[in-house]
Structure 1
Amino acid sequence: MTAGVETRPTKAAVPGMWRTQEKDGSGPLVPQLTVVSGAPVAGAPMQAEKGRPFVIRFGKHLRGFFDRLIGGSSLVSNDPVLDMRDFAWTQLLRDHWQAIRDEAIAVALRGDAAPSLATISPDHRAIAEIDKWRSFFIWGYGYRIDDNADRVPVTAGLVERVPGLNSAFFSILAPGTHIPDHRGVTKGLITCHLGLIVPRDGDVRMRVHDRIVRWAEGETLVFDDTYQHEVWNDTGGIRVVLLVQFERPLRNPGKWIADRFLGVVKRSAFVQEARANIGHWNAAVKQLDV
Protein backbone atom coordinates (compact mmCIF):
# COMPACT_ATOMS: atom_id res chain seq x y z
CA MET A 1 0.00 0.00 0.00
CA THR A 2 2.92 2.31 0.53
CA ALA A 3 5.95 2.76 -1.65
CA GLY A 4 8.77 0.27 -1.23
CA VAL A 5 12.13 1.32 0.13
CA GLU A 6 15.09 1.08 -2.20
CA THR A 7 18.72 1.04 -1.12
CA ARG A 8 19.44 3.85 -3.55
CA PRO A 9 16.26 5.42 -4.95
CA THR A 10 16.45 7.30 -8.21
CA LYS A 11 15.44 10.89 -8.84
CA ALA A 12 13.34 9.65 -11.72
CA ALA A 13 11.27 7.56 -9.32
CA VAL A 14 10.70 10.41 -6.83
CA PRO A 15 11.48 13.72 -8.56
CA GLY A 16 13.18 16.31 -6.41
CA MET A 17 12.94 14.24 -3.24
CA TRP A 18 16.56 13.12 -3.07
CA ARG A 19 19.92 14.86 -2.95
CA THR A 20 23.50 13.67 -2.60
CA GLN A 21 25.55 14.39 0.48
CA GLU A 22 28.48 15.78 -1.52
CA LYS A 23 28.43 18.95 -3.65
CA ASP A 24 29.98 17.11 -6.61
CA GLY A 25 27.03 14.68 -6.68
CA SER A 26 28.89 11.75 -5.17
CA GLY A 27 27.96 9.86 -2.04
CA PRO A 28 24.71 8.22 -1.01
CA LEU A 29 21.36 9.79 -1.75
CA VAL A 30 19.49 11.15 1.28
CA PRO A 31 15.96 12.57 1.58
CA GLN A 32 15.54 16.21 0.62
CA LEU A 33 12.98 16.90 3.31
CA THR A 34 12.71 20.59 2.46
CA VAL A 35 11.24 19.48 -0.86
CA VAL A 36 8.84 16.80 0.34
CA SER A 37 7.68 18.87 3.32
CA GLY A 38 5.44 20.96 1.10
CA ALA A 39 7.66 23.86 0.01
CA PRO A 40 5.68 25.98 -2.45
CA VAL A 41 6.12 25.29 -6.14
CA ALA A 42 5.21 27.73 -8.91
CA GLY A 43 1.68 27.01 -10.11
CA ALA A 44 0.96 24.59 -7.27
CA PRO A 45 -2.46 26.02 -6.31
CA MET A 46 -3.66 25.80 -9.92
CA GLN A 47 -2.26 22.30 -10.32
CA ALA A 48 -3.91 21.22 -7.08
CA GLU A 49 -7.28 22.58 -8.25
CA LYS A 50 -6.95 20.87 -11.64
CA GLY A 51 -6.07 17.60 -9.90
CA ARG A 52 -9.14 17.59 -7.69
CA PRO A 53 -11.92 15.12 -8.52
CA PHE A 54 -14.58 16.40 -10.94
CA VAL A 55 -17.26 16.01 -8.26
CA ILE A 56 -15.32 18.41 -6.00
CA ARG A 57 -14.21 20.95 -8.61
CA PHE A 58 -17.55 21.31 -10.35
CA GLY A 59 -19.81 19.82 -7.71
CA LYS A 60 -18.86 22.62 -5.32
CA HIS A 61 -21.24 24.87 -7.27
CA LEU A 62 -24.05 22.49 -6.29
CA ARG A 63 -22.61 21.72 -2.87
CA GLY A 64 -25.25 23.69 -1.01
CA PHE A 65 -28.02 21.75 -2.75
CA PHE A 66 -26.46 18.35 -2.02
CA ASP A 67 -25.56 19.32 1.54
CA ARG A 68 -29.19 20.27 2.15
CA LEU A 69 -30.34 16.88 0.84
CA ILE A 70 -27.79 15.10 3.03
CA GLY A 71 -28.62 17.28 6.04
CA GLY A 72 -32.33 16.59 5.58
CA SER A 73 -31.56 12.86 5.75
CA SER A 74 -29.31 13.10 8.80
CA LEU A 75 -30.04 10.89 11.79
CA VAL A 76 -28.04 13.24 14.04
CA SER A 77 -27.94 16.99 14.53
CA ASN A 78 -26.85 19.33 11.75
CA ASP A 79 -25.42 21.84 14.24
CA PRO A 80 -21.81 23.04 13.82
CA VAL A 81 -20.76 21.29 17.05
CA LEU A 82 -22.45 17.99 17.83
CA ASP A 83 -23.16 16.16 21.07
CA MET A 84 -20.53 13.46 21.53
CA ARG A 85 -23.13 11.38 23.40
CA ASP A 86 -24.77 10.72 20.02
CA PHE A 87 -21.64 8.75 19.09
CA ALA A 88 -21.17 6.06 21.71
CA TRP A 89 -17.88 4.87 20.21
CA THR A 90 -16.17 8.12 21.24
CA GLN A 91 -16.05 6.68 24.77
CA LEU A 92 -13.51 4.12 23.50
CA LEU A 93 -11.18 6.94 22.52
CA ARG A 94 -11.59 8.72 25.85
CA ASP A 95 -11.03 5.49 27.77
CA HIS A 96 -7.72 4.84 25.99
CA TRP A 97 -6.53 8.38 25.33
CA GLN A 98 -3.29 8.00 27.29
CA ALA A 99 -2.26 4.90 25.32
CA ILE A 100 -3.08 6.76 22.09
CA ARG A 101 -1.05 9.76 23.26
CA ASP A 102 1.89 7.50 24.13
CA GLU A 103 1.89 6.07 20.60
CA ALA A 104 1.70 9.54 19.10
CA ILE A 105 4.70 10.67 21.14
CA ALA A 106 6.73 7.53 20.43
CA VAL A 107 6.03 7.40 16.70
CA ALA A 108 4.34 10.45 15.13
CA LEU A 109 6.34 13.07 17.05
CA ARG A 110 9.66 11.38 16.44
CA GLY A 111 11.95 13.07 13.92
CA ASP A 112 10.31 13.64 10.54
CA ALA A 113 7.78 10.80 10.82
CA ALA A 114 4.87 13.22 10.33
CA PRO A 115 5.06 15.33 7.15
CA SER A 116 3.25 18.61 6.65
CA LEU A 117 -0.35 18.12 5.60
CA ALA A 118 0.41 20.21 2.50
CA THR A 119 2.85 17.47 1.45
CA ILE A 120 0.24 14.75 1.63
CA SER A 121 -3.03 16.32 0.56
CA PRO A 122 -3.36 18.39 -2.63
CA ASP A 123 -6.50 19.92 -1.14
CA HIS A 124 -4.59 21.45 1.79
CA ARG A 125 -1.74 23.18 -0.05
CA ALA A 126 -3.54 26.49 -0.15
CA ILE A 127 -4.35 26.58 3.58
CA ALA A 128 -1.62 24.61 5.36
CA GLU A 129 1.30 26.63 6.68
CA ILE A 130 4.52 25.02 5.48
CA ASP A 131 5.83 22.60 8.11
CA LYS A 132 3.47 23.97 10.79
CA TRP A 133 0.51 21.63 10.30
CA ARG A 134 1.80 18.07 10.27
CA SER A 135 0.00 14.77 10.01
CA PHE A 136 0.64 11.09 10.64
CA PHE A 137 -1.98 9.16 8.68
CA ILE A 138 -3.33 5.84 9.93
CA TRP A 139 -6.31 5.73 7.57
CA GLY A 140 -7.05 8.00 4.61
CA TYR A 141 -10.32 8.06 2.64
CA GLY A 142 -11.12 4.45 3.48
CA TYR A 143 -7.59 3.14 2.93
CA ARG A 144 -5.53 1.71 5.77
CA ILE A 145 -1.97 3.10 5.70
CA ASP A 146 -0.36 -0.17 6.71
CA ASP A 147 3.16 1.17 7.20
CA ASN A 148 1.92 3.71 9.76
CA ALA A 149 -0.94 1.75 11.31
CA ASP A 150 1.32 -1.16 12.16
CA ARG A 151 3.51 1.20 14.21
CA VAL A 152 0.58 2.40 16.36
CA PRO A 153 -1.38 -0.83 16.98
CA VAL A 154 -3.49 0.44 19.88
CA THR A 155 -4.64 3.54 18.01
CA ALA A 156 -5.18 1.62 14.77
CA GLY A 157 -7.24 -1.02 16.54
CA LEU A 158 -9.45 1.60 18.17
CA VAL A 159 -10.14 3.70 15.08
CA GLU A 160 -10.97 0.57 13.10
CA ARG A 161 -13.96 0.17 15.44
CA VAL A 162 -15.39 3.55 14.38
CA PRO A 163 -18.59 3.03 12.33
CA GLY A 164 -18.11 4.39 8.81
CA LEU A 165 -14.43 5.25 9.33
CA ASN A 166 -13.10 7.40 6.51
CA SER A 167 -9.80 8.88 7.78
CA ALA A 168 -7.75 8.94 10.97
CA PHE A 169 -4.48 10.74 11.67
CA PHE A 170 -2.51 12.54 14.32
CA SER A 171 -2.90 16.26 13.62
CA ILE A 172 0.07 18.26 14.93
CA LEU A 173 0.12 22.07 15.11
CA ALA A 174 3.37 23.90 15.78
CA PRO A 175 3.50 26.93 18.11
CA GLY A 176 2.13 30.09 16.51
CA THR A 177 0.17 28.27 13.81
CA HIS A 178 -2.95 29.79 12.30
CA ILE A 179 -5.01 27.64 9.92
CA PRO A 180 -7.13 30.07 7.88
CA ASP A 181 -10.87 29.90 7.39
CA HIS A 182 -11.83 26.84 5.29
CA ARG A 183 -14.48 24.12 5.03
CA GLY A 184 -14.81 20.42 4.27
CA VAL A 185 -16.09 19.02 1.00
CA THR A 186 -19.22 17.09 2.04
CA LYS A 187 -21.80 17.00 4.80
CA GLY A 188 -21.66 13.23 4.44
CA LEU A 189 -18.64 13.24 6.79
CA ILE A 190 -18.33 14.31 10.43
CA THR A 191 -15.06 15.04 12.26
CA CYS A 192 -14.02 14.00 15.75
CA HIS A 193 -10.96 15.32 17.61
CA LEU A 194 -9.47 13.56 20.64
CA GLY A 195 -7.22 15.91 22.61
CA LEU A 196 -3.79 14.38 23.26
CA ILE A 197 -1.42 17.30 23.94
CA VAL A 198 -2.94 20.72 24.65
CA PRO A 199 -0.51 23.48 25.73
CA ARG A 200 -1.62 25.70 28.61
CA ASP A 201 0.76 28.66 28.26
CA GLY A 202 -1.56 30.56 25.94
CA ASP A 203 -4.70 30.06 23.90
CA VAL A 204 -5.29 27.20 21.47
CA ARG A 205 -8.76 27.28 19.94
CA MET A 206 -10.96 26.65 16.92
CA ARG A 207 -13.87 28.63 15.53
CA VAL A 208 -16.59 26.49 13.94
CA HIS A 209 -19.15 28.80 12.30
CA ASP A 210 -20.02 31.12 15.21
CA ARG A 211 -18.75 28.84 17.99
CA ILE A 212 -15.36 29.06 19.69
CA VAL A 213 -14.25 25.69 21.07
CA ARG A 214 -11.14 24.53 22.87
CA TRP A 215 -9.55 21.12 23.29
CA ALA A 216 -8.91 19.26 26.53
CA GLU A 217 -6.58 16.31 26.92
CA GLY A 218 -8.55 13.07 27.00
CA GLU A 219 -11.76 14.69 25.73
CA THR A 220 -13.49 14.40 22.36
CA LEU A 221 -14.90 17.17 20.21
CA VAL A 222 -17.32 16.32 17.37
CA PHE A 223 -18.13 18.88 14.68
CA ASP A 224 -19.38 19.37 11.13
CA ASP A 225 -16.46 20.66 9.07
CA THR A 226 -18.69 21.87 6.23
CA TYR A 227 -19.19 24.94 8.41
CA GLN A 228 -16.41 27.49 7.92
CA HIS A 229 -13.77 26.95 10.58
CA GLU A 230 -10.27 28.11 11.50
CA VAL A 231 -7.69 27.22 14.12
CA TRP A 232 -5.12 29.11 16.22
CA ASN A 233 -2.28 27.80 18.36
CA ASP A 234 -1.22 30.93 20.22
CA THR A 235 1.06 29.04 22.60
CA GLY A 236 4.70 28.04 22.87
CA GLY A 237 3.97 24.32 22.55
CA ILE A 238 2.61 21.86 20.01
CA ARG A 239 -1.05 20.88 19.93
CA VAL A 240 -1.73 17.25 19.06
CA VAL A 241 -5.11 15.64 18.47
CA LEU A 242 -6.24 12.37 16.96
CA LEU A 243 -8.47 13.45 14.07
CA VAL A 244 -11.10 10.94 12.96
CA GLN A 245 -13.46 11.50 10.03
CA PHE A 246 -16.43 9.18 9.76
CA GLU A 247 -19.61 8.86 7.72
CA ARG A 248 -22.63 10.79 8.95
CA PRO A 249 -25.49 8.46 10.01
CA LEU A 250 -28.06 8.93 7.23
CA ARG A 251 -31.30 7.66 5.77
CA ASN A 252 -32.06 7.84 2.05
CA PRO A 253 -31.89 9.77 -0.20
CA GLY A 254 -28.98 11.47 1.59
CA LYS A 255 -27.19 8.18 2.21
CA TRP A 256 -27.36 7.26 -1.48
CA ILE A 257 -25.92 10.66 -2.47
CA ALA A 258 -23.16 10.66 0.16
CA ASP A 259 -22.09 7.07 -0.58
CA ARG A 260 -21.68 7.74 -4.27
CA PHE A 261 -19.85 11.00 -3.74
CA LEU A 262 -17.38 9.38 -1.34
CA GLY A 263 -16.96 6.40 -3.66
CA VAL A 264 -15.95 8.64 -6.56
CA VAL A 265 -13.52 10.62 -4.39
CA LYS A 266 -11.95 7.46 -2.95
CA ARG A 267 -11.20 6.10 -6.43
CA SER A 268 -9.97 9.43 -7.81
CA ALA A 269 -6.41 10.27 -8.83
CA PHE A 270 -6.64 13.03 -6.23
CA VAL A 271 -6.80 10.54 -3.34
CA GLN A 272 -4.38 8.13 -4.98
CA GLU A 273 -1.83 10.96 -5.19
CA ALA A 274 -2.19 11.55 -1.45
CA ARG A 275 -1.62 7.84 -0.76
CA ALA A 276 1.47 7.86 -2.97
CA ASN A 277 2.79 10.97 -1.19
CA ILE A 278 2.55 9.19 2.17
CA GLY A 279 4.45 6.25 0.72
CA HIS A 280 7.18 8.48 -0.71
CA TRP A 281 7.56 10.30 2.60
CA ASN A 282 7.80 7.06 4.59
CA ALA A 283 10.37 5.72 2.16
CA ALA A 284 12.40 8.90 2.52
CA VAL A 285 12.48 9.00 6.28
CA LYS A 286 13.32 5.31 6.50
CA GLN A 287 16.59 6.16 4.76
CA LEU A 288 17.37 8.32 7.79
CA ASP A 289 16.36 5.56 10.22
CA VAL A 290 13.62 7.80 11.64
Structure 2
Amino acid sequence: MGHNSGRLAAGAIMVPDLNVISGAPSPGSAMRAERGRPLIISLGKHFRGLFDRLIATSSLVSNAPVLDVRDFAWTQMLRENWQAIRDEAMTVALRGNAAPSLSTISPDHRAIAEVDKWRSFFIWGYGYRIDENADRCPRTAALVEQIPGLNSAFFSILAPGTHIPDHRGVTKGLITCHLGLVVPRDGDVRMRVHDRIVRWSEGQTLVFDDTYQHEVWNDTEGTRVVLLIQFERPLRNPGKWIADTFLRIVRRSPFVQEARDNIQTWNAAVKQLDV
Protein backbone atom coordinates (compact mmCIF):
# COMPACT_ATOMS: atom_id res chain seq x y z
CA MET A 1 0.00 0.00 0.00
CA GLY A 2 1.33 3.41 -0.82
CA HIS A 3 1.15 6.59 1.20
CA ASN A 4 -2.07 8.47 0.53
CA SER A 5 -1.75 11.40 2.90
CA GLY A 6 -1.93 14.97 1.65
CA ARG A 7 -4.47 17.22 -0.02
CA LEU A 8 -6.21 16.01 -3.14
CA ALA A 9 -6.81 19.56 -4.32
CA ALA A 10 -7.10 23.05 -2.97
CA GLY A 11 -9.83 23.07 -0.33
CA ALA A 12 -10.25 19.29 -0.40
CA ILE A 13 -10.38 17.23 2.78
CA MET A 14 -7.19 15.69 4.13
CA VAL A 15 -6.86 12.02 3.26
CA PRO A 16 -5.29 10.05 6.12
CA ASP A 17 -2.24 7.89 5.60
CA LEU A 18 -3.73 4.40 5.71
CA ASN A 19 -0.44 2.85 6.78
CA VAL A 20 -0.36 4.73 10.08
CA ILE A 21 -4.05 5.10 10.86
CA SER A 22 -3.47 3.57 14.32
CA GLY A 23 0.15 4.50 14.69
CA ALA A 24 -0.58 7.64 16.70
CA PRO A 25 -3.76 6.96 18.66
CA SER A 26 -5.56 9.77 20.41
CA PRO A 27 -4.56 10.24 24.07
CA GLY A 28 -7.96 8.94 25.16
CA SER A 29 -7.74 5.73 23.16
CA ALA A 30 -4.14 5.16 24.22
CA MET A 31 -5.07 5.55 27.90
CA ARG A 32 -8.04 3.19 27.52
CA ALA A 33 -5.83 0.60 25.84
CA GLU A 34 -3.15 0.82 28.52
CA ARG A 35 -5.74 0.42 31.29
CA GLY A 36 -7.07 -2.77 29.67
CA ARG A 37 -3.86 -4.48 28.69
CA PRO A 38 -2.33 -5.07 32.13
CA LEU A 39 -5.17 -7.44 33.07
CA ILE A 40 -4.89 -9.40 29.83
CA ILE A 41 -1.10 -9.53 30.05
CA SER A 42 -1.21 -10.53 33.70
CA LEU A 43 -3.70 -13.30 33.04
CA GLY A 44 -1.63 -14.46 30.10
CA LYS A 45 1.69 -14.53 31.95
CA HIS A 46 0.61 -15.82 35.33
CA PHE A 47 -2.50 -17.92 34.73
CA ARG A 48 -2.50 -18.95 31.06
CA GLY A 49 -0.58 -22.15 31.68
CA LEU A 50 -2.95 -23.22 34.44
CA PHE A 51 -6.03 -22.19 32.47
CA ASP A 52 -4.84 -24.04 29.37
CA ARG A 53 -4.17 -27.23 31.34
CA LEU A 54 -7.65 -27.14 32.87
CA ILE A 55 -9.21 -26.45 29.49
CA ALA A 56 -7.22 -29.32 27.94
CA THR A 57 -8.50 -31.81 30.53
CA SER A 58 -12.07 -30.69 29.76
CA SER A 59 -11.74 -30.82 25.97
CA LEU A 60 -14.25 -32.90 24.00
CA VAL A 61 -11.88 -32.99 21.02
CA SER A 62 -8.20 -33.73 20.58
CA ASN A 63 -5.54 -31.50 22.15
CA ALA A 64 -3.07 -32.28 19.36
CA PRO A 65 -1.38 -29.43 17.47
CA VAL A 66 -3.24 -30.32 14.25
CA LEU A 67 -6.78 -31.67 14.54
CA ASP A 68 -8.88 -33.90 12.31
CA VAL A 69 -11.29 -31.81 10.22
CA ARG A 70 -13.80 -34.68 10.42
CA ASP A 71 -14.33 -33.79 14.08
CA PHE A 72 -15.89 -30.52 12.92
CA ALA A 73 -18.76 -31.30 10.56
CA TRP A 74 -19.30 -27.65 9.62
CA THR A 75 -15.94 -27.53 7.82
CA GLN A 76 -17.59 -29.47 4.98
CA MET A 77 -19.87 -26.47 4.43
CA LEU A 78 -16.81 -24.27 3.90
CA ARG A 79 -15.22 -26.73 1.48
CA GLU A 80 -18.41 -27.01 -0.55
CA ASN A 81 -18.66 -23.23 -0.91
CA TRP A 82 -14.98 -22.29 -1.12
CA GLN A 83 -15.16 -20.85 -4.64
CA ALA A 84 -17.97 -18.47 -3.69
CA ILE A 85 -15.98 -17.42 -0.62
CA ARG A 86 -12.84 -16.94 -2.74
CA ASP A 87 -14.79 -14.82 -5.25
CA GLU A 88 -15.94 -12.48 -2.46
CA ALA A 89 -12.42 -12.25 -1.09
CA MET A 90 -11.06 -11.37 -4.52
CA THR A 91 -13.81 -8.82 -5.20
CA VAL A 92 -13.80 -7.10 -1.82
CA ALA A 93 -10.83 -7.88 0.43
CA LEU A 94 -8.13 -7.86 -2.26
CA ARG A 95 -9.37 -4.67 -3.91
CA GLY A 96 -7.24 -1.59 -3.34
CA ASN A 97 -6.71 -0.74 0.33
CA ALA A 98 -9.75 -2.61 1.62
CA ALA A 99 -7.70 -4.90 3.88
CA PRO A 100 -5.36 -3.18 6.36
CA SER A 101 -2.26 -4.75 7.85
CA LEU A 102 -3.01 -6.75 10.99
CA SER A 103 -0.61 -4.54 12.93
CA THR A 104 -2.74 -1.52 11.95
CA ILE A 105 -5.91 -3.11 13.33
CA SER A 106 -4.25 -4.52 16.44
CA PRO A 107 -1.08 -2.66 17.51
CA ASP A 108 -0.26 -5.58 19.83
CA HIS A 109 0.51 -7.63 16.70
CA ARG A 110 3.29 -5.30 15.58
CA ALA A 111 5.93 -7.56 17.08
CA ILE A 112 4.98 -10.40 14.73
CA ALA A 113 3.28 -8.71 11.77
CA GLU A 114 5.34 -6.96 9.12
CA VAL A 115 3.57 -3.75 8.10
CA ASP A 116 1.58 -4.28 4.89
CA LYS A 117 2.72 -7.90 4.51
CA TRP A 118 0.11 -9.61 6.68
CA ARG A 119 -3.24 -7.98 5.94
CA SER A 120 -6.71 -8.81 7.19
CA PHE A 121 -10.31 -8.16 6.23
CA PHE A 122 -12.47 -8.81 9.30
CA ILE A 123 -16.03 -10.10 9.03
CA TRP A 124 -16.25 -11.07 12.70
CA GLY A 125 -13.78 -10.17 15.45
CA TYR A 126 -13.84 -11.57 18.99
CA GLY A 127 -17.57 -12.15 18.96
CA TYR A 128 -18.46 -8.87 17.22
CA ARG A 129 -19.91 -8.75 13.72
CA ILE A 130 -18.21 -6.10 11.57
CA ASP A 131 -21.43 -5.12 9.83
CA GLU A 132 -19.98 -3.00 7.04
CA ASN A 133 -17.51 -5.69 5.97
CA ALA A 134 -19.94 -8.56 6.47
CA ASP A 135 -22.55 -6.84 4.32
CA ARG A 136 -19.99 -6.59 1.51
CA CYS A 137 -19.38 -10.37 1.72
CA PRO A 138 -22.93 -11.66 2.25
CA ARG A 139 -22.31 -15.26 1.18
CA THR A 140 -19.23 -15.64 3.38
CA ALA A 141 -20.93 -13.92 6.31
CA ALA A 142 -23.98 -16.17 6.05
CA LEU A 143 -21.77 -19.26 6.05
CA VAL A 144 -19.50 -18.35 8.95
CA GLU A 145 -22.48 -17.32 11.07
CA GLN A 146 -23.55 -20.98 11.03
CA ILE A 147 -20.32 -22.07 12.74
CA PRO A 148 -20.88 -23.15 16.37
CA GLY A 149 -19.04 -20.92 18.82
CA LEU A 150 -17.78 -18.48 16.17
CA ASN A 151 -15.30 -16.01 17.65
CA SER A 152 -13.55 -14.43 14.65
CA ALA A 153 -13.62 -14.71 10.87
CA PHE A 154 -11.43 -12.79 8.46
CA PHE A 155 -9.59 -13.05 5.18
CA SER A 156 -5.91 -13.47 6.04
CA ILE A 157 -3.71 -12.15 3.23
CA LEU A 158 0.01 -12.92 3.20
CA ALA A 159 2.24 -11.05 0.74
CA PRO A 160 5.08 -12.68 -1.21
CA GLY A 161 8.26 -13.23 0.77
CA THR A 162 6.62 -12.86 4.18
CA HIS A 163 7.78 -14.69 7.30
CA ILE A 164 5.56 -14.53 10.39
CA PRO A 165 7.86 -15.37 13.32
CA ASP A 166 7.24 -17.96 15.98
CA HIS A 167 4.27 -17.00 18.19
CA ARG A 168 1.28 -18.50 19.99
CA GLY A 169 -2.39 -17.78 20.55
CA VAL A 170 -4.10 -16.36 23.62
CA THR A 171 -6.16 -19.26 24.95
CA LYS A 172 -6.69 -22.98 24.44
CA GLY A 173 -10.40 -22.21 24.63
CA LEU A 174 -10.22 -21.27 20.94
CA ILE A 175 -9.35 -23.40 17.91
CA THR A 176 -8.33 -22.05 14.50
CA CYS A 177 -9.51 -23.19 11.07
CA HIS A 178 -8.04 -22.09 7.74
CA LEU A 179 -9.87 -22.48 4.43
CA GLY A 180 -7.42 -22.23 1.53
CA LEU A 181 -8.57 -19.71 -1.09
CA VAL A 182 -5.46 -18.65 -3.03
CA VAL A 183 -2.31 -20.75 -2.65
CA PRO A 184 0.70 -19.86 -4.88
CA ARG A 185 2.46 -22.76 -6.55
CA ASP A 186 5.72 -21.17 -7.65
CA GLY A 187 7.52 -21.94 -4.39
CA ASP A 188 6.83 -23.09 -0.85
CA VAL A 189 4.15 -21.61 1.39
CA ARG A 190 3.89 -23.43 4.70
CA MET A 191 3.25 -23.28 8.43
CA ARG A 192 4.95 -25.01 11.34
CA VAL A 193 2.64 -25.89 14.23
CA HIS A 194 4.75 -27.22 17.11
CA ASP A 195 6.72 -29.99 15.36
CA ARG A 196 4.42 -30.37 12.33
CA ILE A 197 4.84 -28.74 8.93
CA VAL A 198 1.54 -28.20 7.14
CA ARG A 199 0.62 -26.67 3.79
CA TRP A 200 -2.57 -25.20 2.41
CA SER A 201 -4.59 -26.42 -0.56
CA GLU A 202 -7.24 -24.39 -2.31
CA GLY A 203 -10.70 -25.50 -1.22
CA GLN A 204 -9.40 -27.51 1.74
CA THR A 205 -9.60 -26.83 5.47
CA LEU A 206 -6.89 -27.04 8.10
CA VAL A 207 -7.75 -27.08 11.81
CA PHE A 208 -5.10 -26.46 14.46
CA ASP A 209 -4.49 -25.37 18.05
CA ASP A 210 -2.71 -22.03 17.90
CA THR A 211 -1.59 -22.19 21.53
CA TYR A 212 1.22 -24.34 20.18
CA GLN A 213 4.13 -22.24 18.92
CA HIS A 214 3.71 -21.71 15.19
CA GLU A 215 5.21 -19.69 12.35
CA VAL A 216 4.45 -19.11 8.68
CA TRP A 217 6.51 -18.66 5.50
CA ASN A 218 5.40 -17.50 2.07
CA ASP A 219 8.49 -18.25 -0.01
CA THR A 220 6.72 -17.55 -3.30
CA GLU A 221 6.12 -14.62 -5.61
CA GLY A 222 2.36 -14.82 -5.08
CA THR A 223 -0.10 -13.80 -2.38
CA ARG A 224 -1.55 -16.45 -0.07
CA VAL A 225 -5.18 -15.96 0.98
CA VAL A 226 -7.12 -18.02 3.51
CA LEU A 227 -10.39 -17.56 5.36
CA LEU A 228 -9.29 -17.70 9.00
CA ILE A 229 -11.88 -18.85 11.53
CA GLN A 230 -11.48 -18.90 15.29
CA PHE A 231 -14.14 -20.84 17.17
CA GLU A 232 -14.74 -22.00 20.70
CA ARG A 233 -13.30 -25.37 21.63
CA PRO A 234 -16.01 -27.93 22.54
CA LEU A 235 -15.64 -28.32 26.31
CA ARG A 236 -17.20 -29.76 29.45
CA ASN A 237 -16.90 -28.06 32.82
CA PRO A 238 -14.82 -26.80 34.56
CA GLY A 239 -12.88 -25.95 31.39
CA LYS A 240 -15.93 -24.46 29.69
CA TRP A 241 -16.56 -22.06 32.57
CA ILE A 242 -12.90 -20.99 32.60
CA ALA A 243 -12.75 -20.48 28.82
CA ASP A 244 -16.08 -18.61 28.69
CA THR A 245 -15.07 -16.31 31.55
CA PHE A 246 -11.72 -15.50 29.99
CA LEU A 247 -13.30 -14.77 26.60
CA ARG A 248 -15.87 -12.44 28.20
CA ILE A 249 -13.02 -10.47 29.80
CA VAL A 250 -11.11 -10.25 26.51
CA ARG A 251 -14.17 -9.25 24.45
CA ARG A 252 -14.99 -6.37 26.79
CA SER A 253 -11.40 -5.17 27.14
CA PRO A 254 -9.93 -2.02 25.54
CA PHE A 255 -7.58 -4.44 23.73
CA VAL A 256 -10.52 -5.62 21.59
CA GLN A 257 -12.47 -2.36 21.58
CA GLU A 258 -9.46 -0.48 20.19
CA ALA A 259 -9.20 -3.00 17.35
CA ARG A 260 -12.90 -2.49 16.53
CA ASP A 261 -12.38 1.28 16.49
CA ASN A 262 -9.36 0.90 14.19
CA ILE A 263 -11.38 -1.15 11.70
CA GLN A 264 -14.06 1.53 11.59
CA THR A 265 -11.43 4.26 11.17
CA TRP A 266 -9.76 2.32 8.37
CA ASN A 267 -13.06 1.78 6.53
CA ALA A 268 -13.90 5.47 6.83
CA ALA A 269 -10.50 6.41 5.41
CA VAL A 270 -10.91 4.01 2.51
CA LYS A 271 -14.30 5.55 1.69
CA GLN A 272 -12.64 8.95 1.40
CA LEU A 273 -10.30 7.47 -1.19
CA ASP A 274 -13.29 6.01 -3.05
CA VAL A 275 -11.63 2.60 -3.02
TM-score range normalised by the length of the shorter chain: over 0.9
Map of 1:222 onto structure 2: 207
The number of aligned residues is 267
Distance (Å, rounded) in 1 between the aligned partners of 2:252 and 2:260 = 11
What is the deviation of 1:55?
4.0
What is the deviation of 1:39?
6.1
What is the deviation of 1:49?
8.7
2:41 is the alignment partner of 1:57? yes
Q: 1:51 to 1:175 in 2, by over 3 A?
A: farther
2:174 is the alignment partner of 1:174? no
What is the deviation of 1:114?
0.2
What secondary structure is seen at the aligned counterpart in 2 of 1:250? coil
Map of 1:264 onto structure 2: 249
1:21 to 8, 12, 35: 8
Map of 1:3 onto structure 2: none
What secondary structure is seen at the aligned counterpart in 1 of 2:136? coil
Read off the aligned partner of 2:156 and give its amino acid letter.
Answer: S
Contact 2:120/2:156 (<8 A) preserved: yes
Q: 1:39 to 1:276 in 2, by over 3 A?
A: closer
Read off the aligned partner of 1:21 and give its amino acid letter.
Answer: L
Q: 1:69 to 1:131 in 2, by over 3 A?
A: same
Read off the aligned partner of 1:162 and give its amino acid letter.
Answer: I
Structure with the higher helix share, 1 or 2: 2
What is the deviation of 1:207?
0.3
Contact 2:167/2:214 (<8 A) preserved: yes
Read off the aligned partner of 2:7 and give its amino acid letter.
Answer: T
2:69 is the alignment partner of 1:84? yes
Q: What does residue range 228-243 of structure 1 map to in structure 2 within 5 Å?
A: 228-243=213-228
Which shows bigger deviation, 260-269 or 50-59?
50-59
Map of 1:247 onto structure 2: 232
What secondary structure is seen at the aligned counterpart in 1 of 2:267? helix
Q: 1:94 to 1:48 in 2, by over 3 A?
A: farther
TM-score (norm 2): 0.92
Q: Give unmatched runs, 5+ long, in structure 1.
A: 1-16
Distance (Å, rounded) in 1 between the aligned partners of 2:151 and 2:177 = 11
Contact 1:165/1:244 (<8 A) preserved: yes
Read off the aligned partner of 1:97 and give its amino acid letter.
Answer: W
What is the deviation of 1:34?
3.0
Q: Deviations over 1:132-173 (max 9, x none)?
A: 000000000000000000000000000000000000000000
Q: Give unmatched runs, 5+ long, in structure 2.
A: none
* RMSD, matched Cα: 2.0
Q: Deviations over 1:44-67 (max 9, x none)?
A: xx9999465444210122211110
Contact 2:33/2:258 (<8 A) preserved: no
Q: Deviations over 1:228-252 (max 9, x none)?
A: 0000000000000000000000000
TM-score (norm 1): 0.88
What is the deviation of 1:29?
1.7
Q: Deviations over 1:85-141 (max 9, x none)?
A: 000000000000000000000000000000000000133111100100000000000
Distance (Å, rounded) in 1 between the aligned partners of 2:60 and 2:54 = 12
